[in-house]
Structure 1
Amino acid sequence: MHDPPEPQGRRPGDTRGGQPPSPPPPTPEDDIDAVDEQLLALLQANGRASYAELARQVGLSAPAVHERVGKLESAGVITGYTAVVNAAAVGLGVTALVGIIDSDEIDDVGMLQAVSELPAVQDCWRTAGTEGYVLKVRVTDIPALEDTINALNRIRGVSRTRTTVVLSTKWEGRHGREE
């Protein structure tokens, strides 16, 4: 017996009306092919695209696209779907990149826990070089940025910080870039 075809208007990650059927777990031979790469690029550009729309663009049926996207999700290639919010429109007019320079007493777990509790910190990357971590911080204004930097400098294991204030954002992620 076969499952009914995927509803045409459904989107990846949409669980309304119950959970979608679980795809089989990925196996080592489930390599990402050119169609998967195309699906990933399309979903990165528009995570709200329906399976039917994705299918039209890659030349497969909607159920086949649904299965492929499910496998990419199960394999951890696709880790989630998100809304991209205009930070200034929600009152976060200042963006900064803050490098953390570790001290000798760095406790990565404790430091990361403390950083994750700061609402202004949106992203955190472990980096090579002078700075052990780089954070993307979004705040309302410069005094709020100063407060966040002071809070970061009080965390055990942070020797000092180095901050770069973003003057303007041309794009984030892959938006705005031509392939």
Structure 2
Amino acid sequence: MIQLDARDKAILLELQQESRLSYAEMGSRVGLSPAAVHDRVKKLERKGVIRAYKIQVDPEALGLKLTAFVAIRLDNNFTGREIQPGLEQFHQIEEVHSIAGENDLLLKVRTSDTKALEALIYRIKAVPGIARITSTIVLSTALEGRPLVPGESDESIELR
């Protein structure tokens, strides 16, 4: 784990919330000069803490009104890495996670409607190595894409 001081953590939180901030604006928010912010951001990029800068697009604005999670159980002779190339062909798949439990992979997919989801599922089923698929349709999303809080351990989170 990379050691981050309070200012590095503040910079990371600010960038996650608004990555287009100028170094001057960021500096005023975290109490540093623009040059000091620039140096810290470049250091965080070199160390791999900051991997990329991205935009967040509204899926509904693109006609992708349906979000679903698709759980995949693999044939015993296959691994997630072996079928990954087969999944990469589907632009509707937003995320692929290797998971523990009854299933092996969990996909987050976005489609226009249930008919498009059904068609996608049938196409995914044709990928060699997939034994079973189950899906769950998302009704609403309360939290998504939240900023990561640097250095916060599980012990400091209180669940109620």
So what's the TM-score if we normalise by structure 2? 0.86
Shift of 1:98: 0.9
Q: Which runs of 5+ in 1 are unaligned?
A: 1-27
Alpha-carbon deviations, 1:29-86, whole Å to 9, x = none?
x621221111111111111111111111110111111111111111111111111111
- 1:153-172 per-position Cα deviation (integer Å, ceiling 9, x unaligned): 11112111121101112231
How far, CA to CA, are the matches of 2:80 and 2:107 in structure 1?
14
**RMSD, matched Cα:** 1.6
- Asked if residue 45 in structure 1 is aligned to residue 17 in structure 2, the reply is yes
**Structure 2 alignment gaps of length 5 or more:** 148-160
Higher helix proportion (structure 1 or 2) = 2
Match of 1:152 among 121, 124, 138: 124
Between the two proteins, the alignment pairs up a number of residues equal to 147
SS at match of 1:92: coil
Q: Secondary structure at the match of 1:136?
A: strand
1:125 equivalent to 2:97? Answer yes
- Distance in 2 between the 1:139 and 1:95 partners? 7
- For 1:163 and 1:75, how far apart are their aligned partners in 2? 38
For residues 128 and 53 of structure 1, what CA distance do their matches in structure 2 show?
A: 43
Give, in whole Å, the separation in 1 of the partners of 2:38 and 2:97.
32
* Paired residue type of 2:116: A
Match of 1:15 in 2: none
Q: Which one of 37, 56, 70 corresponds to residue 65 of structure 1?
A: 37
The percentage of aligned residue pairs carrying the same residue is 38
Give 2:133's aligned amino acid.
T
Relative contact order higher in (CA < 8 Å, ≥ 6 apart): 2
1:80 alignment partner, SS class: coil
Corresponding residue for residue 90 of structure 1: 62
Match of 1:122, SS state, is strand
CA distance in 2, matches of 1:31, 1:156: 43
**Partner AA of 2:40 in structure 1:** R
Question: Residue 116 in 1 paired to residue 88 in 2?
Answer: yes
1:104 aligns with 2:73: no
**Paired residues of 1:107 and 1:156 also in contact (CA < 8 A):** no
For 2:18, the aligned partner's letter is N
TM-score (norm 1): 0.77
